[in-house]
Amino acid sequence: MRMTGTLLALILMGLTTVFANEGEINSIFQHANAAYRAQHYQQADSLYQTILQKGFESATLYYNIGNCKYKLGDIGAAILFYRKALKLNPNDADAAKNLKLARLKVMDKIELPPKFFLLTWWEALTTRWSYQNYLKLALVFWWVMFLMAAVWVMVRRDGIRAWSRRLVILSVVCFLLTSGMGYAAYTAQVRQQQGVVVSSVVTVRSAPEENATEVFILHAGTEFVVADVRNDWLKIRLADGKEGWVPRNETEII
């Protein structure tokens, strides 16, 4: 009893600190919005950034910063923040549209071979929905499963028992599916680090050394998957499979 009491107190304390700062954060946010409306993009950007410095984030905040960066002509950073917004909320249609526009301004055009349709489906399944949503759904099925099992145990009437048994089987299947998808989405969204080139030009090298052979050159806004990390170097993989090493400070991780 005392345990739950302290737990509750802790949660309440956490909530009060969140609420205490939230008023301040919201007022900064509104100031930044006003600056953006007045087309003072630089000022708006730095105001939005102070919210990040205070330790708060939201999909909308990232989206708005992306817009500032786009208006300031920093396409690399614009793409980075749109991607961050989409990572928090994969269903953000505004961010998706602006990301598409920003990508048009990227100098490196990566030609992709046509993909097998099942692979495209799988990618859509694992990236369009955040893994948290899959997790929520899986939890719902988990509860339904036990609830139905309980009915099956408790109730004596044969008709209800048969139905509850069918529902248990169905919810087991649904639970396995959703948790599997959730794990796949988690792997695609969280475990696999992705990044964006933010400096205007970066030389990709064959090894993580300053004077290794130059393999190719990338420009701001090109997105990649992080394949390996060594000291201050990232091994990057482009969508078309090209690989190489770049200094970490020329890029940002989404």
Partner 1 sequence: MVRWKTILWLIGVALITRVGAQEDIQLKAYVSRSVVGVNDNFTYTVEISGSARSLPDVTLPDLSDFKILSGPSVSSSFQMINFKMSASKTYQFVLLPKKTGQFQIPAATAKVDGKVIRSNTINITVVPGTTPPTGSKKKQGEAVFFRAVASKSAAYLHEPVTIIYKIYYRTRIANPALVDAPEVSGCWQEEFQLKQLPQYTEIINGTQYKVVEIYRMVVFPTRNGEVSISPMRISLDVMEKSRRSSRWDPFFDDFFSAGYGEWKQKVFSSNAVRIRVKPLPTAGKPANFSGLVGQFRLSTSLNKTMAQTNQALTYRVTITGNGNTDFLTDLSLNLPRTFEVYEPKVKGTKGLNGNQFNSTKIFEYVVIPRVPGQFTLPPLKLSYFDPIEGRYKILRSSAYEVMIEKSPDYDEALARNFVPKSDVELLGQDIEFIRETPGRWHRIGENPFSTIAVTGLVVLPVLAFLGLLGVQRYREKMITNVAYARRQRASKQARERLKEARRRLAGGNLAEFYGAIAGALIGFIADKTNRSAAGLTREDLHTILSENQVAESLQKEFFACLQEADFKRFAPAQATREEGERCLHQAEQILKDLMKYFN
Would you call 98 helix, strand, or coil by DSSP? helix
β-pair partners for 205: 214, 245
CB of 19 or CB of 118, closer to partner 1? 19
Shortest separation between residue 80's beta carbon and partner 1, angstroms: 15
- Nearest partner of 193 among 222, 236, 235, 225, judged by Cα: 225
Site string for partner 1, 196-225 (x = CB under 8 A): ---xxxxx------xx-----x--------
Q: How far apart are CA 24 and CA 235, in angstroms?
A: 40
Shortest separation between residue 144's beta carbon and partner 1, angstroms: 9
Q: How far apart are CA 142 and CA 178, in angstroms?
A: 10
- Stretch 63-102 residues interacting with partner 1 (CB under 8 A): 63-64, 67, 70-71, 94, 97-98, 100-102
Among 4, 114, 153, 241, binds partner 1 (CB under 8 A): 153
Task: Count other Cβ atoms within 10 Å, centred on residue 119.
Answer: 9
Q: Is 55 in the site for partner 1 (CB under 8 A)?
A: yes
Who contacts 46 (Cβ-Cβ below 8 Å, separation ≥6)?
Answer: none
Q: How far apart are CA 178 and CA 89, in angstroms?
A: 19
Among 15, 38, 57, 121, binds partner 1 (CB under 8 A): 57
- Stretch 3-32 residues interacting with partner 1 (CB under 8 A): 18, 22, 25-26, 29-30
Please give the full DSSP string across 105-143, using - where no structure is assigned. Answer: T-SPPPP-PPPPHHHHHHHHHHHHS-HHHHHHHHHHHHH
Among 8, 15, 154, 160, binds partner 1 (CB under 8 A): 154
Among 1, 3, 20, 104, binds partner 1 (CB under 8 A): 104
Q: Is 177 in the site for partner 1 (CB under 8 A)?
A: no
Note whether 114 and 81 are within 8 A (CB): no
Residues contributing to the site for partner 1 (CB under 8 A): 18, 22, 25-26, 29-30, 33, 36, 52, 55-61, 63-64, 67, 70-71, 94, 97-98, 100-102, 104, 132, 135, 139, 142-143, 145-147, 149-150, 153-154, 199-203, 210-211, 217
